[in-house]
Amino acid sequence: MTAHPQPRPGAWSLLTRGPASPDVDALPLAGAPTPDTTRWVRAVLADTVPAMAAVSGRLVALREGRKRLAVLHPDDGPSLVLKQYSDDRGAWTQRWMQRLAEAGMAPPARLSVTPARGWSPAHKTLVADLALGAEWSGSLQAPAAERDAAAVAAADWLVELAALPVTLPDRTGYRAGEDLRRHSGELADEHPTRATRLLGVSGTAQSRLYGDPRAGADDLVASHGDLHPANLFVASGGPLAVTAIDVDTAGLRRPSYDVGYALAQLLVASWMRTGSFAAGASAGAAFWQRWSAHDGRDADAVPAQVVRALVQSLHFELVVYRNGRTDLLEPWLAVAETVLADGVPATLHALTTSHPLTTAEEPTP
């Protein structure tokens, strides 16, 4: 691609703010970063893209500390993302990006992954092009037609990925049965009034997904592994183009894994942004219909994958981040119970057309 449009307002709009400067070293970076960040960027580029080590442009630091994250907007050429790791996982991520690109998901393909520019072992930093367009999650607050079109394009991206003849590691054990048991157990310990329901939905999902070790073992497909709506970027200008970022956990999994995770995260993002599941359910319905029509493998396992992802998200919010959002328990548990009982289409329809699902509260001792 030769054009590099600026992202629409949203999480990445920070990248377009601030004064331009002919000298990146002299540029005050967003978020009051340290001078070490600019030196780190220069050193990483010298390792990975030497021709850009002395480039002029705008630099924005999105994260400081041991695992830095920065974006460089050169005066000429594509913008770059520099992501620092605590270990060598980024080298493997670069390999997955290259394999997916070689299999057909390289720009200017409509459905792509961000191109990797290089890996700096000395600085444990991966350099890649900045994805074009806007986060898929941003479409949740767009008009219905735009929201549904973005969801259809995202489903097209997943169908394309799952069809690729690409060599990736078997990741069926990643965030699987053991994690589901641990997450639900820790949540139940900390929220005893919801313990029966937490353990109930998790136990049902556990049985459906992992009760038969042979289930899905013969039909593994290429999987993103973290198909959150913030990890797909949608760009207009003809047929919607979709670019994926953060393929750190790419691998081979059951087809239902990415589908269930994407649906759950659409509902989570919708609730956190709007206080309602409606927009996420509408997008989820469009996503589901498109995926079902063009792939649909392992569909019976998707409800349990939705529950797995919802429990994981609750664990992150309440146990890992400890944000005190106990108000999330009731609506998210109600969705988990409903999708297990009624399936994906009926649950999404109910969430789109009615008030948030609720179930009877357990009595407080």
**For the chain, which residues make up each domain, given as ranges?**
11-129, 134-353
* Nearest Cα to Cα of residue 320 among 178, 182, 227, 177: 182
Is-above-0.75 flag for pTM? Answer: yes
Name residue 112's beta-bridge partners: 243
What pLDDT score does 359 carry? 44
* Nearest Cα to Cα of residue 246 among 258, 259, 228, 263: 228
Mean pLDDT of 253-265: 97
CA 246-172-241 angle, 5° bins: 35
What are the helix and strand counts (H, E) for the chain?
A: 10, 11
Q: May I ask the CATH architecture of the domain 134-353? A: Alpha-Beta Complex (3.90)
Average pLDDT over the chain, rounded to an integer: 87
- State the DSSP H helix or E strand holding residue 270, giving kind and residue range, or none if neither: helix 255-274
CA 145-284-320 angle, 5° bins: 125
Tokens standing for 360? 């009877």
Question: Is residue 268 within 8 Å of 134, Cβ to Cβ?
Answer: no
Q: How confident is the model at residue 356 (pLDDT cuts 50, 70, 90)?
A: low
Render 5-29 in DSSP notation, one character per residue. PPPPSSGGGGGG-S---S-GGGPPP
* Nearest Cα to Cα of residue 164 among 230, 236, 81, 258: 258
Q: What contacts 59, CB < 8 A, 6 or more positions away?
A: 24, 27, 29, 37, 38, 41, 70, 71, 72, 73
pLDDT digits (tens, 9 = 90+) for 154-177: 999 999 999 999 999 999 988 788
pLDDT digits (tens, 9 = 90+) for 341-350: 999 999 999 9
Position 64: which residue type?
A: E
What pLDDT score does 110 carry? 96
How far is 146 from 150, CA to CA, in rounded Å? 6
pLDDT digits (tens, 9 = 90+) for 98-138: 999 999 999 999 999 999 999 999 999 999 999 999 999 99
What pLDDT score does 357 carry? 58
Model confidence at 354: pLDDT above 70: no
